[in-house]
Amino acid sequence: MLNVLFAVLLAQVPPPPPPLLVTPAPSASPASPGSPTPTPFATPVALVATPALLALHPNAQATLTITGATAPLTAAFASGLATVTIDQATQTLTVSAGATPGTDTLHVVDAIGAAVDVPLHIAFDAGTVPASLQLDITGTPIDSQWLAQQIRALVMREAVVQPGASVTVAPFPSPSPPGLGQQSSIDVPVQIAGNGAYFDVQTTTQVTIDDLTVEPFAPPVLMYDDDPERVSADGVLFRGTVQPGTPARLYFYHVDGPQPRRLVVMLQATGEDPTSIQVIDATAGANLDVMSVGHAVSRDFVQEKARNEGTVIALDSETPYVLHDRTMQPQQGVAGSIGLQVLSGGAVTVSVVAASPGIDPASLLGGPRLAGDGHHRRGRFSILNFGTNSLAYTVGGADAALVYADRDDAPRPLNPASAGRDYGDYGVIHTLLFSLDNPTAQTATVYLYEKPIGGIVRSSFLVDGNLQQIGCVRVSQPYQIAAFALAPQQKYQLQVQTMTDGGSNYPLEVGITGRPVQPVAPPLTAPDGCFPKPGGGL
């Protein structure tokens, strides 16, 4: 009965409709139940650092600005050579270098992962040069090329350079000599290369030049230093004293032995009073061609001495003044002729020192003088009124000639007991005064000549103040120095000055003749040249 009733009810009530279907929106990835809706991230971009790299002295600071960053920033150095602090509000970083030179990298990252690397170099400057320098000179007329050399030497001497760095005086305009008693100035550009270990320096120093009025001097004393000629040990090669009122000339000539060495010339005041000294200096080398070194010294010195062309240097008793510091390689030679006159203060000690690389030459000053080589080519010699000769030549008459730099007429040691000898008159200026006379009715040509006697020789002559250089000769025949046309009845006084060349061989004949002579020196390799090839071939 119940089953019949239930069937009747089902037939009278219809079933409910099916639910509507909804298509869900696509998603990139299914979200786990209860996950919040994700927020999209910005794409990281490279940050910009200003400056893009840092160059700091040890213990110095610099500010770095970061552009395009999303705060907060983080920053750190890879090697810890510096520290960094961050101002998040301004996005600036303060970098503090440590005391140790080197290179490092600062890595900066912002909140979204954008980054920039900033290189850091911590180093000292390669060197310094004073902003202004003073150069006191003497003489007239001053040669512009010589003056430029003195300016360069002053700047190089006064530059303070780190080990391994190198200083260069850049080209500057040819200086105009100020004139006797006058003053001028010039700006000199200087470059100091750090060679990777230091910061390069480019700067300018102003050099003020004073041309002081100082009377020329004729030194009565020659200090001769050529023993040992070949330097094979460290120590004092020569030591001498220049007294006030007694000028002196130092002549030195040395060739390096088997190891590299420095040849250093130093000046030092002996008293407590301020001291100034005039220096007329012709120094050359180092060079393997020792004849060229010796020739350059005599050529330059006769010209500088004739013009009284020198510098004035202030000295003290505490610190030796380094006049020259020349590096010699094995077999290279260095030579110099230096006139010295104390202008104020007390006596001055002049020393020539040999020092190996890394040895302070000043530390050797108090040591004994190095032993000689047995040739006795050193000492103090009298050159008062030495080397001046007068000769007369008359057209049609005999030649007027003399031989100088022979052993029989060498300068005498100041100490008669000294074994020192200056065979060759090295460091001596010879002055030859020729009285020329043409009593005839025709113009006559006369020839000033030199004739080798002792072997291979090169020469320089000042002929009435004009430089004449003779190439290398060895054959014992006359070679022309200059020629003169004497008018009828003309009388003429000719002055010739010369110095013997280090590396050349003497004695040498110089004279006046009316006969034509060999006009020029032959090439070095010619049969009659200084160094002919075997068999006489070229």
The three-state (H, E, C) secondary structure of 336-377, written as one string: EEEEEEEEECCCEEEEEEEECCCCCHHHHCCCCECCCCCCCC
Contact call for residues 293 and 502 (beta carbons, < 8 A): yes
Let me know if residue 11 belongs to a domain: no
Alpha carbons 338 and 221: distance in angstroms, whole number: 12
Considering the domain architecture, whether residues 80 and 198 belong to the same structural domain is answered as no
With bands split at pLDDT 50, 70 and 90, how would you rate the model's confidence at 478? very high
Neighbour tally for 133: CB within 10 Å = 18
Considering the domain architecture, whether residues 194 and 155 belong to the same structural domain is answered as yes
Considering the domain architecture, whether residues 154 and 185 belong to the same structural domain is answered as yes
CATH code at 187? 2.60.40
Quote the number of domains for the chain: 4
Please give the residue range of the domain that contains residue 441: 388-534
pLDDT at 157 over 70: yes
Considering the domain architecture, whether residues 173 and 226 belong to the same structural domain is answered as no
Considering the domain architecture, whether residues 369 and 225 belong to the same structural domain is answered as yes
Let me know if residue 39 belongs to a domain: no
φ, ψ at 237 (rounded to 5°): -85, -35
Hey, what amino acid is at 443? T
For residue 204, give the 3-state DSSP assignment.
Answer: strand
pLDDT at 253 over 50: yes
pLDDT in tens, 436-464: 999 999 999 999 999 999 999 999 999 99
Alpha carbons 296 and 484: distance in angstroms, whole number: 26
pLDDT in tens, 182-235: 999 999 999 999 998 999 999 999 999 999 999 999 999 999 999 999 999 999
Chosen domain end from 331, 347, 381: 381
Considering the domain architecture, whether residues 87 and 231 belong to the same structural domain is answered as no
Considering the domain architecture, whether residues 107 and 64 belong to the same structural domain is answered as yes
Considering the domain architecture, whether residues 140 and 188 belong to the same structural domain is answered as yes
Considering the domain architecture, whether residues 227 and 111 belong to the same structural domain is answered as no
Residue 272's pLDDT is what?
Answer: 87
- Tell me 229's DSSP state: S
For residue 278 the two structure tokens come to 């005039």
The most distant pair of C-alpha atoms in the chain lies apart, rounded to whole Å, by 185
Let me know if residue 36 belongs to a domain: no
Considering the domain architecture, whether residues 106 and 147 belong to the same structural domain is answered as no
CATH code at 96? 2.60.40.1080
pTM: 0.83
Alpha carbons 291 and 538: distance in angstroms, whole number: 21
φ, ψ at 355 (rounded to 5°): -140, 135
Let me know if residue 425 belongs to a domain: yes
Residue 42's pLDDT is what?
Answer: 52
Closest-CA residue to 439 (of 473, 396, 398, 503): 396
Considering the domain architecture, whether residues 190 and 281 belong to the same structural domain is answered as no
Residue 408's pLDDT is what?
Answer: 87
pLDDT in tens, 19-74: 443 434 444 444 444 444 444 455 567 899 999 999 999 999 999 999 999 999 99
Residues 6+ apart with CB under 8 A from 272: 317
Average pLDDT value for the chain? 91
CATH code at 421? 2.60.120
For residue 241 the two structure tokens come to 């004293």
Alpha carbons 328 and 260: distance in angstroms, whole number: 6
